[in-house]
Amino acid sequence: MNSKEISQNSKKRTHFGGAAVWFVFLAAVAAAIFFLYTQAGAVISPASQPSVTVTQPAPAEIKEGQWELVLVNWEHSLPTDWNPQLTLLSNGEQIDERVYPYLQKMFDDARRQGVFPVVSSGYRTQETQQKLYDEEIAKYREQGYGEQEAIEKASGWVALPGTSEHQLGLAADINADTFRSSSEEVYQWLAENSWRYGFILRYPQDKVAITKIEYEPWHFRYVGKEAAKEMYESGLCLEEYLAKKG
């Protein structure tokens, strides 16, 4: 090998050696950045967060012949062995079959009056409620809230799994067919008329301190015609009504 070849090979070794050093350096920097971001939680997606588990309250009791008045909330979880028989609605949502005739009658009458409601969320499984709960907590985490505060804020909008009325099959989120009605028209009609069919606005604006759920003008719960009429006329929420009833 002549001196020219040796010189060229030396240059090649120097070139490739320098590139290798830069590669190692950049890889180390990237690894350090990834570690720091991971430690800070910046690269953890909401989907990768574990499900939040909170202590369940005691199961609700069902008084004989009063299944429609079972109280499920932040103080009472689903009754033991609660297993509703469900009716499938035309849009794929489900509702307790005992409630369906009253819901259908309410919708038929509303539509005859030019108001077009739809059930946007009916019965939910434990798994579905857990998913919604986790997503709501993740939303508040992303806004910078600490873990406990994120849980508290999320719980004002999505009930702790096992304590949601949607899991009873007796409640529905009712919104508007926006091609034919506005949300305001639907909410107003329901607020004024739902009691006639055995439903109540479950989370009124002035009862948040009692229900622990923020005002939801779309969430209606079946309680039976007699109880719904009494609550509508008295302005009591379900917790107050049952406490008074004893």
Total count of domains within the chain: 2
Structural domain including 14 reads 1-43
Q: Is 169 left (phi over 0), alpha (psi -120 to 50) or beta?
A: left
Name the pLDDT band for 87 (thresholds 50, 70, 90). Answer: very high
Q: Are 167 and 129 in contact (CB under 8 A)?
A: yes
Angle, vertex CA 227, rays to CA 222 and CA 232, nearest 5: 90
Query: Does residue 180 share a domain with residue 144?
Result: yes
For the chain, percent of residues with pLDDT exceeding 90: 75
> How does DSSP classify residue 26?
H
Per-residue confidence (pLDDT) for residue 246, from 0 to 100: 85
Per-residue confidence (pLDDT) for residue 8, from 0 to 100: 41
Coil, strand or helix at 182? coil
Query: Does residue 122 share a domain with residue 15?
Result: no
Contacts of 110 (CB under 8 A, 6+ apart): 116, 117, 186, 189, 190, 193
Do β-strands 199-201 and 171-176 pair in parallel, antiparallel, or remain unpaired?
unpaired
Between CA 102 and CA 194 the distance in angstroms is 10
Question: How high is the mean pLDDT of the chain?
Answer: 85
Reported residue count of the chain is: 246
pLDDT tens by residue, 191-227: 999 999 999 999 999 999 999 999 999 999 999 999 9
Task: Determine whether 216 is an active site residue.
Answer: yes
Catalytic residue among 135, 185, 216, 240: 216
Query: Does residue 67 share a domain with residue 12?
Result: no
Query: Does residue 61 share a domain with residue 35?
Result: no
Between CA 124 and CA 86 the distance in angstroms is 11
Name the pLDDT band for 43 (thresholds 50, 70, 90). Answer: very low
Angle, vertex CA 122, rays to CA 86 and CA 106, nearest 5: 90
- Average of per-residue pLDDT across 60-80: 95
Please tell me the pTM assigned to this model: 0.76
CATH classification of the domain holding 167: 3.30.1380.10
Angle, vertex CA 212, rays to CA 206 and CA 217, nearest 5: 50
Query: Does residue 210 share a domain with residue 102?
Result: yes
Per-residue confidence (pLDDT) for residue 51, from 0 to 100: 64
Per-residue confidence (pLDDT) for residue 13, from 0 to 100: 43
pLDDT at 47 over 50: no
For the chain, percent of residues with pLDDT exceeding 70: 78
Query: Does residue 39 share a domain with residue 141?
Result: no
